[in-house]
């Protein structure tokens, strides 16, 4: 019984202790208000920082401005429209512009964002501390101001040394002295005196700066002691004036350390804003938009033209020719005679030189210089020698031909059929969703060219320009692509202009114009020109000789 009683007593005491412990735990939690226990950490932290709310708001604003710098530059450069001729200049090549954007735009961070905030903060500290120093003792403040330039210079060196770890020297001054003196004959014979002197100067540069600071402190404390002894200054005011003045000098030195970065940032900013501020000579958004769709009548009237980068070399010297609507016209001639230039003028990538009304390029009787380039180019489909495909799917590359509307899949497949590429696309595992790779690297030359043809046809152009579209292809690819081009040119309402070196590709055209030395020297149907045995006949025979060779 006693054991049972003892056991019961022990268990009762244990239960009492457990309940007591639970009560203590409950009391501990009850010491905190329920709303505080459930309040979020973020909200409570913000409440604690409420006294610094204004400073935090300014900091957030500065961070937002800093974060917006690169997107802003992206938008600004996207809005910088320039004529294509601007990119022909050596200083405006793609690689140079990309390097400028990548290297010079980040330089502006040195005068904005966090760095700009540090500069403003340091200048504000300097101004406030100078005012306080004069308030406590104008005599000591004047002495401090006399030493200020030297202290700022030393402070700037110290800040830059700390940031770039220049202060970490592998060899101290004493080692340099010992090494140079122990080998003085070698140093003299090799004329290394200047080298060792410069190395020693670098080692003691920071100590020399500290010496200036100590000399300033000695002068300040001496003057302070004199003023205290004369009864014009008390000890508290002296230490306050000295303390705030030194603090201000450090802040100004920190700001001065950014001066080299400031110069590079300003230089980069000038280069960037020079590009942004340039007014394009050929604004794609300016000009008239005809009320009626164009028909496709094209007239070259006494056209004279030289490229902006070669103004002394005139490519077209008075070119005259008419292209009737719905016609298929080929431009042939030796390299450099102006064939591709004619196609570029029709797109208004460049403007002709003629300033009078008797010369220029006209569509349906309207001078191209009066028509908005963006609207004009929407009416034209272009297939060039080297098609530029984007790193997207085949479907997206074809749809890129007309981004003014949402193109249904049916139209995309119809354009692919007209370009003789639909069957190939369907044979791919992912079909029209196949990625073509960078610049179409996953496709052959003929496949890329046919996708480019489909892209040109998707906009249903009134004018089709083919600039040596098959010259870079092998014989089999040329045959397939030429069949696609013939199908694209067969539409009676479409005006087609073809530039070709291989004359067999233009034998189905309605008319051929031969260019030589910037003039049209011969024109007519292929059979007519062959019968005349003139310039085209000579070119045709030369082309045949090259093929046999």
- pTM of whole model > 0.85? no
CA distance 445 to 447: 5
pLDDT tens readout for residues 505-528: 777 788 889 888 888 888 888 888
Question: Of 147-156, 275-284, 307-316, which one has max mean pLDDT?
Answer: 307-316
Give the confidence band of 347 by pLDDT, cuts at 50, 70, 90.
Answer: confident
CA angle 110/112/118 to nearest 5° reads 80
Q: What is the pLDDT averaged over residues 445-471?
A: 83
DSSP H or E stretch at residue 511: strand 511-516
Q: What is the pLDDT of residue 549?
A: 42
Q: What is the pLDDT of residue 30?
A: 46
Q: Which residues make Cβ contacts (< 8 Å) with residue 70, sequence separation at least 6?
A: 105, 106
* 331 three-state secondary structure: strand
Strand order in the sheet with 360-363: 316-323, 298-305, 360-363, 366-367
pLDDT tens readout for residues 382-420: 888 777 888 889 888 888 888 878 888 998 998 888 888
Mean pLDDT, all residues of the chain:
72
Q: What is the pLDDT of residue 130?
A: 77
DSSP code at position 355? -
* 62 three-state secondary structure: helix
- Are 332 and 506 in contact, with CB atoms under 8 Å apart? yes
Is the pLDDT score of 535 beyond 60? Answer: yes
- Are 282 and 373 in contact, with CB atoms under 8 Å apart? yes
Give the confidence band of 23 by pLDDT, cuts at 50, 70, 90.
Answer: very low
Q: What is the pLDDT averaged over residues 194-214?
A: 62
- Greatest Cα pair distance in the chain: 140
Q: What is the pLDDT of residue 208?
A: 52
What b/e readout covers 519-546, taking b as 16+ CB neighbours within 10 angstroms?
Answer: bbebbbebeebbeeeebbeebbeeeeee
Q: How far is CA 339 from the centre of its chain?
A: 34
Strand order in the sheet with 511-516: 380-383, 463-467, 495-499, 328-332, 511-516, 519-524
In the chain, % of residues over pLDDT 90: 0
pLDDT tens readout for residues 90-109: 555 566 666 666 666 666 66
Q: Which residues make Cβ contacts (< 8 Å) with residue 112, sequence separation at least 6?
A: 65, 66, 69
> Torsions phi, psi of 466, nearest 5?
-120, 110
Closest CA to 455 of 328, 447, 83, 330: 447
Q: What is the pLDDT of residue 103?
A: 63
Is the pLDDT score of 495 beyond 50? Answer: yes
Give the confidence band of 25 by pLDDT, cuts at 50, 70, 90.
Answer: very low
Is the pLDDT score of 358 beyond 80? Answer: no
**Higher local confidence (pLDDT), 196 or 308:** 308
Domains, the chain, ordered by start: 122-277 (no CATH), 293-379+464-549 (3.40.50.300), 386-460 (3.40.50.300)
Q: What count of Cα atoms within 13 Å lies in the side-chain half-sphere of residue 522?
A: 20
Q: What is the pLDDT of residue 88?
A: 56
């Amino acid at each position: 019984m006693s054991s049972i009683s003892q056991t019961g007593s022990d268990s009762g005491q244990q239960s009492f202790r457990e309940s007591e412990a639970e009560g203590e735990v409950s009391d501990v939690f009850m010491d905190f208000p329920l709303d505080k226990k459930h309040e979020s950490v973020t909200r409570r932290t913000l409440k604690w920082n409420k006294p610094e709310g204004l400073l935090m708001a300014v900091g957030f604003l500065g961070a937002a401005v800093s974060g917006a710098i690169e997107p802003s530059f992206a938008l600004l450069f996207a809005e910088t429209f320039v004529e294509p001729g601007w990119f022909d200049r050596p200083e405006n090549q793609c690689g140079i512009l990309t390097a400028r954007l990548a290297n010079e735009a980040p330089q502006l961070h040195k005068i904005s964002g966090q760095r700009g905030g540090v500069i403003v903060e340091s200048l504000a500290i300097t101004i406030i501390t100078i005012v306080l120093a004069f308030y406590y003792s104008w005599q000591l403040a004047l002495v401090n101001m006399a030493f200020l330039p030297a202290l700022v210079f030393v402070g700037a060196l110290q800040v830059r040394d700390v940031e770039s770890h220049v202060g970490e020297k592998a060899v101290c001054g004493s080692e340099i002295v010992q090494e140079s003196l122990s080998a003085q004959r070698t140093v003299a014979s090799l004329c290394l005196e200047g080298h060792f002197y410069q190395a020693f100067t670098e080692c003691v540069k920071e100590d020399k700066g500290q010496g200036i600071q100590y000399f300033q402190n000695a002068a300040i404390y001496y003057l302070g002691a004199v003023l205290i002894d004369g009864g014009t200054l008390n000890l508290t005011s002296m230490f306050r004036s000295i303390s705030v003045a030194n603090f201000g000098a450090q802040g100004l030195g920190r700001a001065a350390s950014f001066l080299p970065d400031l110069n590079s940032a300003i230089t980069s900013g000038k280069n960037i804003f020079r590009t942004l501020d340039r007014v394009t000579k050929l604004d794609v958004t300016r000009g008239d938009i005809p009320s009626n769709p164009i028909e496709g009548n094209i007239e070259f009237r006494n056209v004279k033209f030289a490229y902006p980068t070669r103004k002394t070399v005139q490519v077209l010297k008075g070119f005259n020719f008419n292209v009737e609507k719905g016609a298929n016209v080929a431009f042939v001639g030796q390299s450099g005679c102006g064939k591709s230039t004619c196609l570029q003028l029709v797109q208004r990538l460049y403007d002709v030189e003629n300033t009078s009304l008797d010369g220029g390029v006209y569509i349906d009787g309207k001078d191209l210089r009066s028509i908005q380039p963006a609207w004009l180019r929407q009416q034209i489909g272009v297939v060039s020698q080297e098609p530029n495909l984007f790193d997207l799917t085949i479907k997206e590359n074809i749809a890129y031909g007309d981004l003014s509307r949402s193109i249904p899949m049916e139209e995309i497949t119809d354009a692919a059929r007209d370009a003789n590429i639909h069957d190939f696309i369907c044979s791919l595992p992912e079909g029209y969703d196949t990625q073509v790779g960078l610049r179409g690297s996953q496709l052959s030359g003929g496949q890329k060219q046919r996708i480019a043809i489909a892209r040109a046809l998707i906009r249903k152009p009134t004018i089709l320009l083919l600039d040596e579209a098959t010259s870079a292809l092998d014989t089999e690819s040329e045959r397939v692509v030429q069949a696609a081009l013939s199908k694209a040119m067969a539409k009676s309402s479409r005006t087609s202009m073809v530039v070709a070196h291989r004359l067999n590709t233009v034998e189905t055209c309605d008319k051929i114009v031969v260019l030589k030395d910037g003039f049209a020297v011969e024109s007519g149907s292929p059979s007519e020109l062959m019968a005349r045995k003139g310039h085209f006949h000579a070119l045709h025979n030369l082309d045949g000789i090259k093929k046999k060779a």
